[in-house]
Amino acid sequence: MKRKNSGKRASAEPASRATGGQERCHESTGTPVRKPASVPRGRLQAAGAPSRGARPMTDFPETAEDSEFFVRMFKHEFDSDPRLRKPQPLADVAVVLTRDTWPSDDPEHGATMVANLLLTLAESPQRPKFLFLLNTAVKLAVKSSRTLESLQRLEALGTKIQVGKASLDHFCLEGELRVGEMISMLEMLNTCFGVGKVLTF
């Protein structure tokens, strides 16, 4: 009987060596048990990852000690585009524009500054309740104006754009108005008295 047992051990050990240590005998039955083969190091590698000095990726680490990296994922909501921001309540402010261009050595620069002001207001998370256009500023709301798109966006976001009727009549632009509503000077004054702050440009 001892010789038979030694024969079983002799036959099992070479099989284990032949498979590179992948097989071993069950302790009670002596039946060879095959150990799952691990993925050889270096077989899988992330695309574009450096080949020198980097730990190759495998399907799954064999033990906890083989896992060298941990990844934590957090849900983070952000918006890089100002147009995607959630609309904020309108500020209790009335903005009054009296010029379509600001005084400058370069008239084009003055017009660009006014256009930039309206564009900034349209993209700002806070916008005024009212925007009044008086004097030459009524030209900003007509068909051929470069600021028409910014004014239409402001109006769509809740800002009430009100244009002086007397100024439109003076420049013969009443039929070319494309955004806002015409108001009298008395209506504008009543509105200004009812808001918390008035900003004039």
pLDDT at 162: 97
pLDDT tens digit sequence for 40-93:
554 444 444 455 555 555 555 555 555 566 666 655 554 555 555 565 789 999
In this structure, is the dihedral angle defined by the CA atoms of residues 8, 11, 17 and 22, taken in order, positive or negative? negative
Report if residue 23 sits inside a domain. yes
pLDDT at 75: 57
- Res. 185: pLDDT tops 50: yes
Q: Which helix (H) or strand (E) holds 198?
A: strand 197-200
pLDDT tens digit sequence for 172-184:
998 999 999 999 9
Are 105 and 195 found together in one domain? yes
DSSP per-residue letters across 127-196: -EEEEEE-GGGGGGGBTT-TTHHHHHHHHHTTPEEEEEHHHHHHTT-GGGB-SSEEE-HHHHHHHHHHSS
pLDDT at 107: 84
Q: Report the distance separating Cα 127 and Cα 119, nearest Å.
A: 11
Are 114 and 194 found together in one domain? yes
Contact call for residues 181 and 147 (beta carbons, < 8 A): no
Contact call for residues 121 and 113 (beta carbons, < 8 A): no
Are 7 and 105 found together in one domain? no
Report if residue 189 sits inside a domain. yes
pLDDT at 99: 95
Contact call for residues 134 and 98 (beta carbons, < 8 A): yes
pLDDT at 46: 46
Report if residue 59 sits inside a domain. no
Report if residue 52 sits inside a domain. no
Q: Residue 117 belongs to a domain with what CATH number?
A: 3.40.1260.10
For the chain, the average pLDDT equals: 76
Output the CA angle 45-46-47, nearest 5 degrees: 115
Q: Report the domain count for the chain.
A: 2
CB-based burial label for 52 (10 Å; 0-12, 13-18, 19+): exposed
Q: Range of 15's domain?
A: 1-35
pLDDT tens digit sequence for 99-156:
999 998 888 999 999 999 999 999 998 899 999 999 999 999 999 899 999 999 999 9
pLDDT at 19: 46
